[in-house]
Amino acid sequence: MASTFGHLFRITTWGESHGPAVGVVIDGCPPGIALAEADVQAELDRRRPGQSRITTQRAESDRAEILSGIFEGATTGTAIHILVRNKDARSRDYGEMRTMYRPSHADYTYDAKFGRRDWRGGGRASARETIGRVAAGAIAAKVLRERCGAEVVSYVKRVQDIEAAVAPGEVTRAAVEAHITRCPDPEAAAAMEQYIDAARKAGDSLGGVVEAAAHGVPPGLGEPVFDKLDADLAKAMLSLPACRGFEIGSGFAGTRMTGSTHNDPFYMAEVEPGARRVRTRSNRSGGVQGGISNGEQIVIRAAFKPTATILRPQQTVDAAGNEVTLKPRGRHDPCVLPRAVPLVDAMFNLVLADHLLRHEAQTGGNR
């Protein structure tokens, strides 16, 4: 079990789906960052179940309690602990989970690894674990804003085959929040909503892609050769439940190009009157070259598989080795994409904040 992420800005999450609470310790946050529970709550509300018709109806208010590390309205530089109580933990819905392995869930592998597991609601493998990440990500976002002005905007780029026609640079947080799908293209958003509705009625589920762009990241973040910025982003995304793929910049599509069309030409841009800096004319690099940010937008995409929980009978086995049929039961998210958006935001912000501190250590803060 590895519940800690980050090198300098470091989080440790704990908690199970049907235990009394879940939470996170944030260690290494710089002192003097203004912080209130409302800052954290705003992000938790974006992740919360039951936020719209198209998400799971588990009724959780997910209230953040900050139990340490904040004094007189700001961080002290010491460990911050945030706790969220679990309320609507209907274990009865999950009785079969005690013995049956739900297909494409973590039930079997947790048993294989640990020899035992808290089977209620997925236990530690439940997406409720991500509450801690989102709470911590809200703090990372504040650090980035104060220290370098960077901001991350994530959104649903694709649900199944419906793709938003948007360019990363043009999407605002408001446009993302304008629709319950968190797709900033209204036409695509409407179609996605229909598809998700249809999937729910059919007891089925859908996958898709979240795209995210970070604006205002200064050049120089990333620690080659192993802790490259894109490598840490890839790990961050793949550590999210249901994420099965990651790409930066041109990604997989870029492999079909030639070097002469793929390379990003450098030029000198006048960013203010009299002030010039190095920029690239295209951004197929996605803002990261050689594992280090180059000052352009950092653009990534994360693939989320169709939710494994479906409301249809499925063939499986139980812990005793019997082949059995799992009956449909319980609540489910027919498509995780809308709620994956704040998770991608959180992990992106956490990686950037960690690398900002690492870079400042090396430069003595003289960026």
Quick one: 59 or 361, whose CB is closer to a second copy? Answer: 361
Q: How far is the CB of 355 from a second copy (least distance, A)?
A: 10
Our CB check for a second copy shows the closer of 41 and 307 to be: 307
Q: Would you say 178 or 270 has its CB closer to a second copy?
A: 270
Binding to a second copy (CB under 8 A) within 60-79 occurs at: 65, 67-69, 71-72, 74, 76-79
Least distance CB 187 / a second copy (angstroms): 19
In whole angstroms, the minimum distance from the beta carbon of 153 to a second copy comes to 21
Find the angle CA(55)-CA(56)-CA(58) to the nearest 5 degrees.
135
Are 120 and 58 spatial neighbours (Cβ–Cβ below 8 Å)? no
Indicate the residue among 32 and 172 with the shorter CB distance to a second copy.
Answer: 32
Q: How far is the CB of 132 from a second copy (least distance, A)?
A: 9
Report the DSSP pairing between strands 243-248 and 275-280: unpaired
Of residues 218 through 277, those in contact with a second copy by CB under 8 A are 219-228, 230-239, 241, 244-252, 254-260, 262-268, 276
β-strand partners of 326: 314
Site string for a second copy, 168-207 (x = CB under 8 A): -------------------------------x---xxxxx
Using CA atoms, how far apart are residues 231 and 334, in angstroms rounded to an integer? 30
The answer to whether the CB of 126 falls within 8 A of the CB of 120 is no
Q: Say which residue the tokens 């939470």 belong to.
A: 23
Q: What are the residues facing 278 on neighbouring strands?
A: 268
Which residues, 6+ apart, have CB-to-CB distance to 26 below 8 Å? 9, 10, 11, 69, 79, 80, 81, 82, 136, 139
* 292 bridge partner residues: 289
Minimum distance, C-beta of residue 48 to a second copy, in the bound complex (Å): 19
Provide φ and ψ at 299, rounded to 5°. -120, 120
Q: Does 289 engage in binding with a second copy (CB under 8 A)?
A: yes
# chain residues binding a second copy, by CB under 8 A:
155
215 SS3 class = strand
Q: Which of residues 152-171 bind a second copy (CB under 8 A)?
A: 158, 160-161
65, 83 Cβ separation under 8 angstroms = yes
Q: How far apart are CA 225 and CA 55, in angstroms?
A: 40
CB neighbours of residue 103 within 10 Å: 15
Q: Minimum CB separation from a second copy for residue 174, in Å? A: 26
Q: 367: closest CA among 213, 216, 221?
A: 221
Please report how many Cα atoms fall inside a 13 Å half-sphere around the Cα of residue 318, on the Cβ side.
Answer: 13
Binder to a second copy among 49, 208, 338, 342 (CB under 8 A)?
Answer: 208
Shortest distance (Å) from residue 212 CB to a second copy: 15
Q: Which is nearer to a second copy, 172 or 282 (CB)?
A: 282
Any contact of residue 217 with a second copy (CB under 8 A)?
no
DSSP designation for 241: T
Question: Is the CB of residue 355 less than 8 Å from the CB of residue 224?
Answer: no
Considering only residues 93-132, where is the footprint of a second copy by CB under 8 A? 101, 103-106, 108-110, 112-118, 123-125, 129
Q: Which stretch binds a second copy (CB under 8 A): 21-29, 39-47, 49-57, 175-183?
A: 21-29
Tell me which residues in 26-55 interact with a second copy (CB under 8 A): 27-32
Q: Site residues for a second copy, window 340-359 (CB under 8 A)?
A: 357-359
Count of alpha carbons within 13 Å of 56, Cβ hemisphere only? 24
Q: Give the one residue of 55, 154, 309, 349 binding a second copy; rule: CB under 8 A.
A: 309
Residue 170 Cβ vs a second copy, minimum distance, rounded to whole Å: 22
